[in-house]
Structure 1
Amino acid sequence: MEPRGVMGGIYRLTEWIMRLSVINLLWILCGAPFFIFFFMSFISLLNGNVPEDQMLSFIQTACLTLGVLAPFTFFPSTAAMFAVARKWVTGEGDVPMFKTFFKGYKENFKQSMLGGLIYTILIVILVVDYYFFVNSGSGQIISGIFIGLLVLAVVSLLNFFSMLVHYHMKTFQLIKNSILITIGKPLRSITSAILVGFILFMSFTQFTWLLMFFTGSLIAAVSYWNFNLIYTKLQQQLEDMKKNEEEEVEIAAEMDREDLVKSDYKESK
């Protein structure tokens, strides 16, 4: 029997800490090649091991290498993590984590790899173009535009994973709909960007231990929660439209019956 009161709250808190950390560790293990190269590159930049005149070349090479690794390691692992996050957000907190994770990994592997490849190409192009204009010294406004486009691409990618684990659609339909949702729901997109940005900021600057245990799983849970709000609202709008249509049909049928009654009445006269 689950304890209540203060002890019950502590029990639930520790349980969620365990869930988030386990899924985050599985995410890192299944995407190990990507994460190892990413952190090696990040540490090299952080420690100043890259000469300033080679900075742009180093970043371009790192982005291209990560772009090659991501579709085969990072994206399938992320899709599996989102599959677990979907269960959590929809009220299935006690779902078996290992089984759900690897089931999501297997079921979404091909689509996550293909969709991830497309997003990787887009993001790499945006990152390289951004650094090109920053270092050119004559494109501050243009580089700012590329930052905005990069944020939109990342939010769209998060929506892509949320839709991937929620809908049965073809890959290009998922990408198209994730872009449409990102652009069509600007407030939700801004909310996602702020929440994810805050998690990343705290993870990379204040509490680096979050990267190992919580960063990925927190981002997945927050992103799917935000997507679920959009989905719930759209479902409600569809139900309201359907209800209105049914009411209109009933009114039209009632009017037809009234006309028929009036017509019969006139004939009887």
Structure 2
Amino acid sequence: MGAFGILKIPEWMLKFLYVNFLWICFSLVGLVMFGLFPATVAMFAIFRKWIMGETDIPIFRSFWRYYKKDFLKSNRLGLLLLVIGYTLYIDFQLLQYASDSVWITIISYVVATITLMYILTLLYVFPVFVHYEIPVFKVLKTSFLTMIVSPLSTIMMMAGSVILYFSLRNFLGLAVILGPSLFAFLVMCSVYLSFTKLIKSKAVKLESS
């Protein structure tokens, strides 16, 4: 990570812009619905390599390789995430029309808690996907467990997201062409710290990619 020096900030900003450009283009290539998840996986995979010290990898070639390699698997993951998210959305809609009672209130709190856990787990899904060679359902399980035992990483992501939001909120164009890649890098950095701590504590025994 020593390569991230002050004098190299312009170079790295261009790299982030380029990765963000590829993410947008490859998402569109897959007609958004089928391209978004493979493109996001490819972006996280590149950031993982940078964080591990491989800062000179060919960006386009690496992005294309990860995009092709995980196209089907990432879309299976994306479909599963969409189904879970849509189910929670429907639950909230139904609860709005339910009559007031103690049980409805309890169920509402339960659904709200599950939704919060779902959103927090989403922050860990793509880092886990690119870091471990595991099946889709195990990606979800590992993401959830990592989130549960890594509150500091979650706090780091939340704090970083707030800082990033206030830094870019007045620059809409910059937020579009740079924001997603910066956010993804922030998430990957935070979760990668969790991976190293969990491995050292032998809390996780998985094969990294």
- Please classify the TM superposition score into its range, dividing by the shorter chain length: 0.7 to 0.9
- Measure, in 1, the Cα distance between the counterparts of 2:82 and 2:178: 23
Q: Which runs of 4+ in 1 moved over 6 A?
A: 134-145
1:184 matched to 2:184? The reply is no
- Measure, in 1, the Cα distance between the counterparts of 2:162 and 2:109: 17
1:126 matched to 2:88? The reply is yes
Name the SS for the 2:56 alignment partner. coil
Q: 2:13 aligns with which of 12, 17, 25?
A: 17
Q: 2:25 aligns with which of 19, 25, 29?
A: 29
- Measure, in 1, the Cα distance between the counterparts of 2:162 and 2:80: 22
- Measure, in 2, the Cα distance between the counterparts of 1:129 and 1:95: 45
1:116 matched residue in structure 2 = 78
Name the SS for the 1:206 alignment partner. coil
Answer yes or no: is the 8 Å Cα contact 1:20–1:214 preserved in 2: yes
Q: 1:160: how far off? A: 1.7
Higher RCO (CA 8 Å, separation ≥ 6 residues):
2
Higher helix share: 1
- Measure, in 2, the Cα distance between the counterparts of 1:93 and 1:228: 16
* Structure 1 residues not aligned, in runs of 5+: 1-7, 35-68, 240-269
- Measure, in 1, the Cα distance between the counterparts of 2:110 and 2:177: 33
Answer yes or no: is the 8 Å Cα contact 1:151–1:193 preserved in 2: no
Matching residue's letter, 2:6: G
1:83 matched to 2:48? The reply is no
Q: 1:154: how far off? A: 3.2
1:219 matched residue in structure 2 = 183
Q: 2:135 aligns with which of 153, 158, 170?
A: 170
Between stretches 142-151 and 19-28, larger displacement belongs to 142-151
1:50 matched residue in structure 2 = none
- Cα distance, 1:24–1:148 mapped onto 2, change above 3 Å: farther
Matches within 5 A, 1:205-244: 205-238=169-202
TM-score, structure 2 as length reference: 0.78
Name the SS for the 1:75 alignment partner. helix
- Measure, in 2, the Cα distance between the counterparts of 1:216 and 1:124: 23
Name the SS for the 1:165 alignment partner. helix
Identity of aligned residues (%): 30
- Cα distance, 1:117–1:229 mapped onto 2, change above 3 Å: same
Matching residue's letter, 2:64: F
Answer yes or no: is the 8 Å Cα contact 1:87–1:93 preserved in 2: yes
Name the SS for the 1:238 alignment partner. coil
- Measure, in 2, the Cα distance between the counterparts of 1:95 and 1:101: 10
Between stretches 217-226 and 137-146, larger displacement belongs to 137-146
- Cα distance, 1:133–1:170 mapped onto 2, change above 3 Å: same
- Cα distance, 1:137–1:25 mapped onto 2, change above 3 Å: farther
Matching residue's letter, 2:191: F
- Measure, in 1, the Cα distance between the counterparts of 2:69 and 2:156: 29
Matches within 5 A, 1:33-48: 33-34=31-32
Q: 1:74: how far off? A: 1.1
Q: 1:125: how far off? A: 2.8
- Measure, in 1, the Cα distance between the counterparts of 2:97 and 2:130: 39
Name the SS for the 1:30 alignment partner. helix
Between stretches 213-222 and 180-189, larger displacement belongs to 180-189
TM-score, structure 1 as length reference: 0.62
- Measure, in 2, the Cα distance between the counterparts of 1:202 and 1:150: 28
- Measure, in 2, the Cα distance between the counterparts of 1:128 and 1:209: 34
- Measure, in 1, the Cα distance between the counterparts of 2:194 and 2:6: 29
Q: 1:225: how far off? A: 0.7
Equivalences, count: 194
Matching residue's letter, 2:10: T
* Structure 2 residues not aligned, in runs of 5+: 204-209
